[in-house]
Amino acid sequence: MRAGKHDVIEVIHAKRDGGVLSTSQIDWVIDAYTRGDVADEQMAALAMAILLNGMDRREIADWTAAMIASGERMDFSSLTRPTADKHSTGGVGDKITLPLAPLVAACGVAVPQLSGRGLGHTGGTLDKLEAVPGWRAQLSNDEMLAQLDSLGAVICAAGDGLAPADKKLYALRDVTGTVEAIPLIASSIMSKKIAEGTGALVLDVKVGSGAFMKSLDDARELAEVMVALGKDAGVATVALLTDMETPLGRTAGNAIEVAESVEVLAGGGPADVVELTVALAREMLAAAGRDDIDPADKLADGSAMDVWRAMISAQGGDPDAPLPVAKESHVVTATADGVLTRLDAMAVGMTAWRLGAGRARKEDPVQAGAGVVWHARPGDTVRAGEPLFTLHTDTPERFDRALATLEDGYDVAAPGTSYDARPLIIDRLA
C-alpha cells in the first residue's frame, strides 16, 4: 500500500535493517494501520522488527504522538480539583487500583482511572470490579466527567475513541510474540494516559517473575522512557520500580481481590498492599500539588471507604451485596514444619488463570469466584498439616492442572532458616 511518498514495505525494510524511522514514516504507518490500509500481517512484521532492533527516543516519542493523534483527547479542565492517575505494568495480586482511586479522591485529587481486563497470568481491574453485583465498566465521557466532578474518582473502561491505533496494535502484539518490545509497551501505555488528559501520572513499573519486565535493567529502561514521554507531553510523571517476584497481598483472583481491597479501605488488609497503596497515593498527591495531606489518615478515618461505596454505587454496583463465591475449593497443606522462603508470582498467577480467574483470549469469560488464597508469605513459619493455599473454582476439573502449576512455585525450608525480605519499592524515577 502506497500513500504519498511512503509505502508499508519501505517502512518494514527500514526497521528490519536497523534503520531509524522518520517522523513522516511513523505518522503515515500508524494512520494507515488505523484506517485498515496496512494489514495486520504487515504491522506484525514491523512490530517484530521494532522488538528486535529497538527505537531511539525520538522515534518512540513520534510513535506515541501518532497513536494519540489516531483518536480523541479528553479534557478535565472543567473540574474544580487537580487530576492524577496511576498505571501499573501488571502483576499478580495487584489490586492496588481498587483502594488507591478512592483514597486519592478522599484527599481532594480527582482520579480518572481508565483500566483494562486481564490477559494471561495478570489480573484485570475491570474483571475484578465486575465481580461486584451490578457494577458496570462502560461509561460515556459525560458520565465519567460528572462522576469525577461529584465524587472525585472513577474506574472504567476506555472508550473506543481513545487511541484506537493502540487498541488494534495491542491485540496484534499479544498474538505475535511482540508484547515485550519496550518501545511498544511505553507508547501503548503513554498514548492512552496522555490522551486521557490527566494532569499528573504515577507509574508502577513491576519487576520480577510475575512482571513483564523480568530484569531490573529492563524495568528501569521502560520507566525512564515513559517518564520522559510524560514530561515531554506536559504531564507531571513519576515512576516507582516495585517488586513482583512475590505476589501482592494474599489473594489472586477477582472477587477475592475485591474483598481484600475492602479490607484495606476498612483500615486492615495485608501490610504490603497497604504500603504500596499509601506510597502511590503520596506520589499522586505530590504530583498534583496536594502533598499537604497524608493519605494514611484518610484510610484510618473511613473517608476512603466512603468514596469507594459512592463510586461503586454510582456505576450501578451494590457495595453491600455479597461477593460471588466459587462452587468448589481445594486446600494445599504444608507437608512439614519450616519457613516459607519463596512464593513465585508467575506460578501463583498461572494457577489463578488455570482455575478460571483469567483468560487466554480477550473474548474469553472469567469466573468471578476463581482464584488462589495463600495463607503464608515468604518469611512466615508454617506447620505440617496447616493450610498453605486454598484454590477456588466453579469447575473442579481445573484443579489438577492448577495444582501442577503451583507445585514448583514455592519452597519451604527447614525450621529456623533465615529469610531476607526483598524491598517492595525498589527505586523511584522522576
| Burial status of residue 61 (CB atoms within 10 A of its CB: 0-12, 13-18, 19 or more) | buried
Q: How many other C-beta atoms lie within 10 A of the C-beta of residue 425?
A: 14
Known catalytic membership, residue 188? yes
pLDDT confidence of residue 1? 43
Confidence at 3, pLDDT banded by 50, 70, 90:
very low
Known catalytic membership, residue 231? no
| φ/ψ of residue 9, rounded to 5 | -65, -40
Could you say which of 166, 243, 272, 344 is catalytic? 166
In angstroms, the CA 168 to CA 272 distance is 35
Could you say which of 6, 81, 86, 87 is catalytic? 87
The overall pTM is greater than 0.85: yes
Q: Give bridge partners of residue 201 from the DSSP assignment.
A: 85, 237
> Mind listing the pLDDT tens digit for each residue in 147-173?
999 999 999 998 888 899 998 998 888
Cell of 64: 506515541
Q: What is the mean pLDDT of residues 381-402?
A: 98
pLDDT confidence of residue 4? 55
Could you say which of 81, 117, 167, 192 is catalytic? 192
Inter-CA distances, 225 with 86, 100, 220, 424, Å: 16, 24, 9, 22
In angstroms, the CA 236 to CA 155 distance is 21
In angstroms, the CA 143 to CA 315 distance is 9
Could you say which of 188, 191, 209, 261 is catalytic? 188
- The angle at the Cα of 256, spanning 254 to 262, to the nearest 5 degrees, equals 105
pLDDT confidence of residue 160? 81
In angstroms, the CA 54 to CA 57 distance is 10
| Burial status of residue 430 (CB atoms within 10 A of its CB: 0-12, 13-18, 19 or more) | middle
Kindly state the percentage of the chain with pLDDT values over 70.
Answer: 98
Cβ-based neighbours of 407, under 8 Å, separated by 6 or more: none
Terminal CA-to-CA distance of the chain, rounded, Å? 41
Crossing angle between the packed helical segments 255-265 and 303-314, to the nearest 10 degrees? 140
Q: What is the mean pLDDT of residues 315-344?
A: 98
Give the amino acid at 308.
Answer: W
Known catalytic membership, residue 383? no
> Mind listing the pLDDT tens digit for each residue in 261-308?
999 999 999 999 999 999 999 999 999 999 999 999 999 999 999 999
Cell of 54: 529497538
Show the domains of the chain with their CATH numbers. 2-54 (1.20.970), 85-161+179-314 (3.40.1030.10), 328-413 (3.90.1170.30)
> Mind listing the pLDDT tens digit for each residue in 175-191?
888 988 999 999 999 99
Known catalytic membership, residue 261? no
Task: List Cβ<8 Å contacts ≥24 apart for 158-164.
Answer: 158/114, 158/116, 158/192, 158/196, 159/72, 161/71, 161/72, 162/71, 162/72, 162/74, 162/114, 162/192, 162/195, 162/196, 163/67, 163/68, 163/70, 163/71, 163/191, 163/192, 163/195, 164/34, 164/70, 164/71
pLDDT confidence of residue 219? 96
CA dihedral 315, 320, 324, 327 (to 10 degrees): -170
pLDDT for residue 405 is more than 60: yes
pLDDT confidence of residue 121? 76
Known catalytic membership, residue 166? yes
Could you say which of 173, 282, 290, 398 is catalytic? 173
Residues in the chain: 430
Q: What is the mean pLDDT of the chain?
A: 94
Comparing C-alpha atoms, which of 223, 201, 190 is closest to residue 285?
Answer: 201
> Mind listing the pLDDT tens digit for each residue in 341-371?
999 999 999 999 999 998 877 677 899 999 9
**Three-state helix/strand/coil letters over the chain:** CEECCEEHHHHHHHHHCCCCCCHHHHHHHHHHHHHCCCCHHHHHHHHHHHHHHCCCHHHHHHHHHHHHHCCCCCCCCCCCCCECEEEECCCCCCCCHHHHHHHHHHCCCEEEEEECCCECCECCHHHHHCCCCCCCCCCCHHHHHHHHHHCCEEEEECCCCCCHHHHHHHHHHHCCCCCCCHHHHHHHHHHHHHHHCCCEEEEEEEECCCCCCCCHHHHHHHHHHHHHHHHHCCCEEEEEEEECCCCCCCEEECHHHHHHHHHHHCCCCCHHHHHHHHHHHHHHHHHCCCCCCCHHHHHHCCHHHHHHHHHHHHCCCCCCCCCCCCCEEEEEECCCCEEEEEECHHHHHHHHHHHHHCCCCCCCCCCCCCEEEECCCCCCEECCCCEEEEEEECCHHHHHHHHHHHHCCEEEECCCCCCCCCCCEEEEEC
pLDDT for residue 415 is more than 80: yes
> Which range has the worst mean pLDDT, 40-49, 111-120, 268-277?
111-120
Cell numbers 513459619: residue: 381
